[in-house]
Structure 1
């Protein structure tokens, strides 16, 4: 439970979901995960330059099923097993690359994203991988600054693997400018 004081000084109590567990996604949840990503993207409506992302494409159900089969698509589920958020990743070279992390708009701010990231890091370590990587927006508070607080660091252009260079180039071609994006890395066994 988190207690905050709104502007009028009266206590506001925010209750998060109870009994949250991180588990492998199921194939029958693929469409639900697409809906969660669409819900999570609504946060971008608040930032004029990125509001178009609130109606943009989401990761496909087919991709969710493929990553679930690979054992790298996890959900944060409530006590009744209902997914509230997910993290999709893939093993690429010696890294676990986070493709997408989304938490339902109504369940943001309760630490579910952090739990999902911690699970991915533990999974990468258990697989004997070197690092966890991702690409994200530099200045949006729930993107780059969030990952930095969890131990990720921004990679400079000369540090990009060929895979990350290709990914950043594809994102740039899709309208996600390199001026606003960055690649990040967290060494697992450092």
Structure 2
């Protein structure tokens, strides 16, 4: 439960969903996931330089279906099996790369993103992979600093793999300026 103080000083109590679990995405979930990504992107409206992302493209249904078929597309659901957030990833070499993670704006701040990332790390560990990687914004609090708190480290330019360098270049070509982005890595330690 999170207590917030609005401008009038009267506390608001915001309670999160109950019984959140992570499961593989199903075909029937895909359109809801696209709506969740659009909802999550509304947070960018608050940052003038990135407000265009609130109306930008979301991950296509085809990509969701392909990652679902690969077994690397997971959804967080409430106790009624309603999607609240998702994490899409792909296996590239010895890494699990997070392509997208989104939590519906009404359900942000309750640890759903952390649960999704923990699930992805556990999945990568079970598969014997070496790391989990992602690209994100350097300075936005719910991006790079969030992942650092979860154990990811920002990779300097010289430490980038050719795949991550190419991915950052591709993002730059699609309007995500390279100087605002970074690649991050979490090494998996096997027991």
Question: TM-score band, normalised by the shorter chain?
Answer: over 0.9
Q: Secondary structure at the match of 2:178?
A: coil
Corresponding residue for 2:18?
18
Q: Secondary structure at the match of 2:98?
A: strand
Mark the runs of 5 or more structure 1 residues left unpaired by the alignment: none
CA distance in 2, matches of 1:10, 1:148: 34
CA distance in 2, matches of 1:2, 1:28: 32
Deviation at 1:7, TM superposition (A): 5.3
Deviation at 1:4, TM superposition (A): 3.7
Deviation at 1:22, TM superposition (A): 0.5
Corresponding residue for 1:153?
153
1:135-174 counterparts in 2 under 5 A?
A: 135-174=135-174
1:98-113 counterparts in 2 under 5 A?
A: 98-113=98-113
1:106-145 counterparts in 2 under 5 A?
A: 106-145=106-145
Deviation at 1:96, TM superposition (A): 0.2
Deviation at 1:66, TM superposition (A): 0.7
TM-score using structure 2 length:
0.96
Deviation at 1:11, TM superposition (A): 3.1
Once the two structures are superposed, residues 128-185 of structure 1 have per-residue CA deviations (whole angstroms, 9 ceiling, x without a partner) of 0000000000011100000000000000011111110110110111111111000000
Q: Secondary structure at the match of 1:96?
A: strand
Corresponding residue for 2:79?
79
Corresponding residue for 1:64?
64
Mark the runs of 5 or more structure 2 residues left unpaired by the alignment: none
Corresponding residue for 2:29?
29
Once the two structures are superposed, residues 18-41 of structure 1 have per-residue CA deviations (whole angstroms, 9 ceiling, x without a partner) of 011001000111111111100100
CA distance in 1, matches of 2:77, 2:101: 14
CA distance in 2, matches of 1:5, 1:103: 23
CA distance in 2, matches of 1:80, 1:153: 36
Q: Secondary structure at the match of 1:142?
A: coil
Once the two structures are superposed, residues 45-85 of structure 1 have per-residue CA deviations (whole angstroms, 9 ceiling, x without a partner) of 01000000000000001110110111100000011101010
Deviation at 1:6, TM superposition (A): 4.3
Q: Secondary structure at the match of 1:100?
A: strand
Corresponding residue for 2:88?
88
